[in-house]
Amino acid sequence: MMSYDEYMRSVIQPMRTELTSVGFEELLTPEDVEAKFENMKGSALVVVNSVCGCAAGLARPAVAYSLQHSEQKPDHLYTVFAGQDKEATAKAREFFTGYPPSSPSFALLKDGELVYMMERHQIENRPLEIIAADLLEAFKKHCG
């Protein structure tokens, strides 16, 4: 019989792969986050991934689309998974000053400082094209 943890890993894996397949690096521990965020040079897009419907139907597809269609791209692509890699997610959120925890969400950092944030309420119930357009504008303004 499969354990609960094994079951959850198997269910969640496609949600992780949807981002890693377009170039995102998973940060699984607080140490991973510290290693990438401390002394960061350049721009980094951080996706706080989630199992919710708006992550599946909107957030992940919108970020993949925006990366495929942008001339200016972040230098680094990172993801943490809310509810799964809890400590890594909490550590990443320490860098999103002024914003409450939100998943899914997108944070754009420049040299380790937050320059753009899209929270769950700006993702759910909005057309995928509008979310992608907002991300493309943020990339244009802060990347490259």
Query: Which sequence positions are flagged as catalytic?
Result: 52, 54
The backbone torsions φ and ψ at residue 3, rounded to the nearest 5 degrees and listed phi first, read -70, 165
Do 55 and 81 meet the contact criterion of CB atoms below 8 Å apart?
Answer: no
- Other C-beta atoms closer than 10 Å to the C-beta of 139 total 22
For the chain, the distance separating the N- and C-terminal CA atoms, rounded to the nearest angstrom, is 50
Distances, alpha carbon 80 to alpha carbons 83, 91, 101, in Å? 10, 10, 12
Distance CA 63, CA 13 (A): 18
- Write out the two tokens for 110: 């420049």
